């Protein structure tokens, strides 16, 4: 039997999404300290909207997530700073594919199936769009659904999916989410956008590691 509906604030959504992401992409510096989590929440790449949370805001979100049973503190005698880990999968009976999809939706807002396949690759590489759709169908078909189809906005050609873990701010329009026109120029634009996103993600991971070592 699945747990009751999860209702998270926008700040809790960002913190939970960041913890899921770093859990899988930087396991060597996970769980995260408060400083490491601040860098993960406030990074400028792979986030929509971009935020600038102070430590008090992140701590309040962590406290809320702990009360909801989605985050736990990890204590260690070798580390003076408390560290935090997310337990969404184990408390809600989710697989890595489910967590990957929810992570991207929490961090970037509504996404198309194609965007989800591309942006979940570092967490769970889907072999096809069909596998992404199967995961979305499973998340939408739970007793308490975790995702739903969003209504198309003017100018949008593809259906987008959004999470149901709480209301959030409208995502900021970003060049990386704009579908370019066909042709060689479009392919170059996509490649530049992908490389820029990867660079920003690597820089954020480096900053998180630096914070862990300080």
Let me know the angle formed at the C-alpha of 70 by 64 and 76, rounded to the nearest 5 degrees. 95
Quick: pLDDT tens for 95-148.
Answer: 999 999 999 999 999 999 999 999 999 999 999 999 999 999 999 999 999 999
Contact 42, 53 (CB under 8 A): yes
Quick: pLDDT tens for 27-65.
Answer: 999 999 999 999 999 999 999 999 999 999 999 999 999
Backbone angles phi, psi at 45, to 5 degrees: -100, 150
Least confident residue range of 117-121, 147-151, 193-197? 193-197
Question: pTM of the predicted model, to two decimals?
Answer: 0.77
Helix, strand, coil percent values for the chain (each to nearest 5): 50, 10, 40
CA 186: distance to chain centroid?
26
Distance of alpha carbon 138 from alpha carbon 133, whole angstroms:
9
Q: Which two tokens stand for residue 34?
A: 């408060």
Residue 77, pLDDT score: 73
């Amino acid at each position: 039997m699945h747990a009751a509906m999860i209702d998270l604030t926008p700040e809790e959504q960002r913190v939970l999404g960041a913890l899921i992401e770093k859990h899988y992409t930087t396991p060597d510096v996970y769980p995260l300290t408060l400083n490491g989590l601040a860098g993960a929440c406030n990074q400028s790449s792979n986030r929509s909207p971009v935020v600038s949370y102070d430590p008090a805001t992140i701590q309040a979100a962590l406290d809320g997530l702990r009360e909801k049973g989605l985050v736990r503190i990890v204590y260690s005698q070798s580390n003076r700073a408390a560290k935090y880990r997310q337990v969404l999968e184990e408390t809600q009976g989710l697989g890595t594919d489910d967590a990957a999809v929810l992570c991207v939706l929490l961090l970037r807002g509504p996404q198309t199936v194609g965007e989800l396949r591309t942006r979940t690759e570092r967490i769970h590489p889907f072999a096809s769009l069909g596998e992404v759709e199967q995961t979305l169908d499973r998340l939408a078909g739970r007793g308490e659904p975790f995702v739903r189809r969003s209504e198309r906005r003017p100018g949008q050609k593809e259906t987008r999916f959004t999470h149901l873990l709480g209301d959030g701010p409208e995502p900021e329009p970003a060049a990386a989410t704009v579908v370019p026109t066909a042709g060689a120029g479009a392919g170059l634009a996509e490649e530049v956008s992908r490389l820029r996103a990867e660079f920003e993600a690597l820089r954020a991971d480096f900053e998180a590691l630096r914070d862990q070592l300080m």
